[in-house]
Amino acid sequence: MIEETVRRALEEDIGSGDVTSLACVPEDLRAHGRFLAREPMIVAGLDLLREIYRQRGGVDDLAVLKRDGDRCAAGDVLATVRGRARTLLECERVALNFLQRLSGVATSARGFADAVLGTNCRVLDTRKTTPGLRALEKRAAAAGGVTNHRMGLFDAVLIKNNHIAAAGGVRQALENARGAGLPVEIEVRTREELRQALEAGAEHLLLDNLTPEEARKWVREIGGRAKVELSGGIDLSNVRAYAEAGADYVSAGAITHSARAMDISFRLELEKADNPSFRRPGPIANRPQDAILPHKIDLERVRGEFPGRIVHYPTLDSTMRAAAGLGAEAIGAVVLADEQTAGQGRHGHGWHSEAGAGIYCSIVMKPAPLQTLALGLAAADAIAQSTGVVCDLRWPNDVMAGAKKVAGILVQLVDGAAIAGIGINVNQSAFPVELAGEATSLRMASRPRRF
């Protein structure tokens, strides 16, 4: 279903080809892009990115940094992608259409779910969805925190006034419907229909187009003999009042049919040496430690020698988030960035790790005992081999050059994988006053030596 939905969307937009990109963008030009939230939202639809890029091909790396249902702030990076510039450009609109629409549904759903917190009432979605997108919109609604009602006319029975009339009455409609072997719900509009439905053993009643006060009286009369669902004209302004009327459920078509598209953008950067908007940082000095900075490494050669997957970004919010987005199936993969705008540290600390100053990477690993210690020893050994700087470890996660920290290790368990973040200070010549007594870099630690 999802595969076909994506195929149709791509075919509708791209057709025989993106003529603008074909005319203006060189075939071998590479690029990387970021999907950014530009307002607070509940995000949904991120799993579609993998299918979109799978169908088009030409993508080297995709890192999904959030999960459906996550609450995102303005400025949060939702996903990053790297590959052929033509592919990223031709898929941009389809990807954004899905993300903006489905995040809008999820955000709307969260508003309804939050509005009834503290009551015993659950919010249901409806079949009032965009044609062809029902499965996706219902998944987005569930990610936002509401409960999916029936998917279509095939998976539950909902008897309304026309069905009652055609069947010959409430009792007959209920008896006929029970033969389907599916959940049965019946709408009642009068006290007489209510009496007949309860006498016939109805388990789920639908009350439509009542005021909250009228609903309260009906619920009191039903007295727990059946589950009660309220519908009709329910929106964010009144859903709390209906929930407090004592209903078991309220259903709201507004969750899907009135959800607005959220503001999400796609930022593209071309990876071309003569493109002035793409600048790789240069080394500060011609010293041995410069050769281990990410932008100085011959990644193509390393990829040929390294058994795992290497994902490299010139700039990224957090290599740990990107690595977590690869999933447990990517054991052995390494995410490497020249710059981190929101690197992760212990106790939730965040860091801006400047380009040209250090190594910022994360590895997807199988969980193991003493993993942080083992990684610290490996980092210390690699530093010694590369630069001659001898390091020790300080429990639990610091690599020390002398009495100062030169590298840090952070391991987090995510969905069965150990995400190991490693940050090494390489090229700094000074630190802020508040860190000067605690931190050093390979450049500073090797000053006494003359290379």
Give Cα 97 distance to the centre of its chain: 16
Considering only 101-105, 145-149, 152-156, 367-371, which range has the smallest mean pLDDT? 367-371
Please state the domain count of the chain. 2
Residue 397 φ then ψ, to 5°: -145, 20
Residue pointed to by tokens 């999400």? 264
DSSP state of 26: -
Shared domain for 231 and 293, answered yes or no, is no
Q: Please report, rounded to a whole number, the percentage of residues in the chain having pLDDT higher than 70.
A: 90
Contact 135, 158 (CB under 8 A): no
In a domain, 93, yes or no: no
Q: Is the pLDDT of residue 345 over 70?
A: no
User: Residue 218 — very low, low, confident or very high, per pLDDT cuts 50/70/90?
Assistant: very high
Q: Which of the listed residues 189, 224, 257 is the one where a domain comes to its end?
A: 257
Q: What is the distance between the alpha carbons of residues 424 and 421, in angstroms, rounded to a whole number?
A: 10
Section 434-438 average pLDDT: 83
Q: Is the pLDDT of residue 102 over 70?
A: yes
Instruction: Name the residue range of residue 384's domain.
Output: 279-451
Considering only residues 403 and 1, tell me which one the structure prediction assigns the higher pLDDT: 403
Helix (H/G/I), strand (E/B), else coil: 110: helix
Exposure of 276 by Cβ count < 10 A (0-12 exposed, 13-18 middle, 19+ buried)?
Answer: exposed
User: Residue 298 — very low, low, confident or very high, per pLDDT cuts 50/70/90?
Assistant: low
Instruction: Give buried/exposed letters for 77-94 (b at 16+ CB in 10 A, else e).
Output: bbbbbbbbbbbbbbbbeb
- CATH of residue 150's domain is 3.20.20.70
Q: Is the pLDDT of residue 371 over 50?
A: yes
Section 222-228 average pLDDT: 97
Q: What are the distances in angstroms from CA 152 to CA 64, 123, 149, 155, 165?
A: 31, 18, 9, 6, 22
Shared domain for 155 and 203, answered yes or no, is yes
Shared domain for 328 and 423, answered yes or no, is yes
- CATH of residue 304's domain is 3.30.930.10
Please tell me the predicted confidence (pLDDT) of residue 385: 83
Shared domain for 413 and 335, answered yes or no, is yes
Shared domain for 291 and 413, answered yes or no, is yes
Q: Name the pairing type of β-strands 59-64 and 77-84.
A: antiparallel
pLDDT in tens, 10-26: 999 999 999 999 999 99
At residue 210, what is the residue type? Answer: L
* 396-404 contact pairs (CB < 8 A, 24+): 396/372, 397/346, 397/372, 399/424, 401/440, 401/442, 401/445, 402/440, 402/445, 404/437, 404/438, 404/439, 404/440, 404/445
In a domain, 210, yes or no: yes
Shared domain for 374 and 438, answered yes or no, is yes
Model confidence, pTM: 0.64
**H or E segment and range at residue 394:** strand 392-394
Residues facing residue 182 across a β-bridge? none
Q: Which of the listed residues 257, 288, 319 is the one where a domain comes to its end?
A: 257
In a domain, 418, yes or no: yes
Q: Is the pLDDT of residue 174 over 70?
A: yes
Residues annotated as catalytic (active site), given as ranges: 93, 128, 160, 187, 208
In a domain, 106, yes or no: no
At residue 264, what is the residue type? Answer: I
In a domain, 75, yes or no: no
Shared domain for 304 and 428, answered yes or no, is yes
Q: Which of the listed residues 226, 257, 288 is the one where a domain comes to its end?
A: 257
Contact 422, 409 (CB under 8 A): yes
Shared domain for 246 and 292, answered yes or no, is no
Section 320-340 average pLDDT: 88
pLDDT in tens, 52-65: 999 999 999 999 99
Please tell me the predicted confidence (pLDDT) of residue 339: 86
Shared domain for 301 and 391, answered yes or no, is yes
Please count the CA atoms within 13 angstroms of the CA of 174 that sit on its side-chain side.
19
In a domain, 67, yes or no: no
pLDDT in tens, 276-297: 444 333 333 334 445 555 555 6
Q: How many helices (H) and strands (E) does the chain have?
A: 16, 20
Shared domain for 283 and 240, answered yes or no, is no
